[in-house]
């Protein structure tokens, strides 16, 4: 059974940094597409960053320049480095993947295309 599990969430003050990690099964990390989504209370789920197996990386405008997505296939991990955090970044963050996804592995991401999801990790940014 495929494994996708996030870690690294927590509470931080505005301007601070956090690093999220997503441990996943090897065939998932080696697949075509992995991404990070987030969902704040009362808001729609938002795809914020994606990495495709050809190296293409895309970011939502809301995080571009502050967040960095990276994949370590040797360790079967997908990371999200989050800098200059803002209160509006407060949300549950989810790792998602789909080994077969290709053209849709770019912003704007559609959650319905992703077949594997983690349980989420909470990020809270206080002002």
> Can you give 32-50 as a three-state secondary structure string?
CEEEEEEECCCCCCEEEEE
Residue 1 pLDDT class (50, 70, 90 cuts): confident
pLDDT value at position 45?
97
Neighbours of 127 (CB within 10 A): 9
pLDDT tens readout for residues 87-122 = 999 999 999 999 999 999 999 999 999 999 999 999
Q: Is residue 94 within 8 Å of 37, Cβ to Cβ?
A: yes
Distance CA 12, CA 28 (A): 30
Distance CA 77, CA 87 (A): 27
- Percent of the chain's residues with pLDDT above 70: 100
pLDDT tens readout for residues 3-41 = 999 999 999 999 999 999 999 999 999 999 999 999 999
């Amino acid at each position: 059974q495929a494994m996708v599990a996030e870690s690294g969430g927590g509470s931080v003050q505005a301007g601070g940094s956090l690093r999220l990690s997503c441990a996943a099964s090897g065939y998932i990390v080696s697949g075509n597409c992995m991404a990070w989504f987030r969902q704040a209370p009362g808001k729609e789920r938002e795809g914020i960053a994606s990495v495709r197996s050809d190296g293409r990386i895309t970011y939502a405008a809301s995080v571009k320049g502050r967040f960095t997505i990276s994949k370590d296939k040797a360790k079967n991990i997908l990371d999200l480095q989050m800098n200059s955090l803002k209160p509006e970044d407060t949300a549950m963050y989810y790792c998602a993947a789909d080994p077969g996804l290709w053209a849709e592995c770019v912003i704007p991401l559609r959650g319905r295309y992703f077949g594997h999801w983690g349980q989420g990790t909470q990020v809270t940014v206080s002002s």
